[in-house]
Structure 1
Amino acid sequence: MRGFLVVSVTLAQLGCTAALAQVPTNPVQSADRMQVANCVRQGMSASPGCIGLVAVPCVSAASANDRAQAEITCARREEAVWRERLTLAGATLERTLEAGARSQFAALQLAWQSYAVQKCAFYGASQPPARSAGLQAGCELREVAERALEIERFAARQTRRPPAAPPQIIR
């Protein structure tokens, strides 16, 4: 059973890596990272308001001729920040979990990634062709950002738990 668990976790991690590899890479800009971090630091209840903090002004600054491409580029730029936060929150959470829970979390992340990719592909395909790529990139940004915030909140609760009491020896 233990060997099966190890193989399952390994396959789930490889699957997550493959799914993540499908997303175009976009290096995180430190100014974007700081802007999102400052917004989130102001309070987790206001954090959903932080989504679009980088992308919206970026698109607004683009010329009318470049707007369609800017929607994609700017969404990917901010998504890189949120994806980085998601990865770090996931690693933090995994450190607090036991082996079985880590395996479940890896499977959950794989399922979430598959869902997000399919949801946004469907959403993009249902839009007018001239707007579909930009709207799909925006959907992916929202999905990754919302998942990052969810995992960050959960990881924070897990790390604040009091340590388990040492076993009591009864004599």
Structure 2
Amino acid sequence: MARDALAAARAAAAERRAATGGGKGAAGIRKPVRRSGGLGRPRGRGWSAARADERDPQTFGRLASRLSGDRGWAPRLASGSVFGRWAELVGEEVAEHARPESLRDGVLTVQADSTAWATQLRLLQRQLIARLAAGLGDGVVTSMRIHGPAAPSWRRGPRHVSGRGPRDTYG
């Protein structure tokens, strides 16, 4: 049965070739078949020029930066890099004694280890903002709020007594 179907297909193909002239030109030479590039249009040349082209291989960093720029993610990525590159941006000594807490609308909140470091950071605030602008770009950090260490709360616990608090017992 399969042989009969194959023989019938071969006979039909031979009849079509005989009806169209056998796929040969006037001199009896076979004509090349023109094929399209898959989208129904003739295929162009497949090589690029000597200059850089968008079809050339790109590094992942270049593709990621182009994608972030096209999608509008660049400001959020720059603000996120404040936390990741803090020691590099402000210096090792400052980074040992202060850490960034939050960044909202260009205002960077920084927590210092001691009140002395908080005062020192307030004095260095302009220089720190200039360093951050040089490393991240202008407008990422516009101002800083610097906090010292938080004092312990004496208002908690099961045996809380209302009044002045610990100042009564310190003499």
TM-score by length of 2: 0.24
Q: Choose between structure 1 and 2: higher helix proportion.
A: 1
- Judging by fraction of residues, say which structure has more strand: 2
Question: What TM-score does the superposition give when structure 1 sets the normalisation length?
Answer: 0.24
Higher relative contact order (CA 8 A, sep 6+): 1
Based on CA coordinates, which of the two structures has the bigger radius of gyration?
2
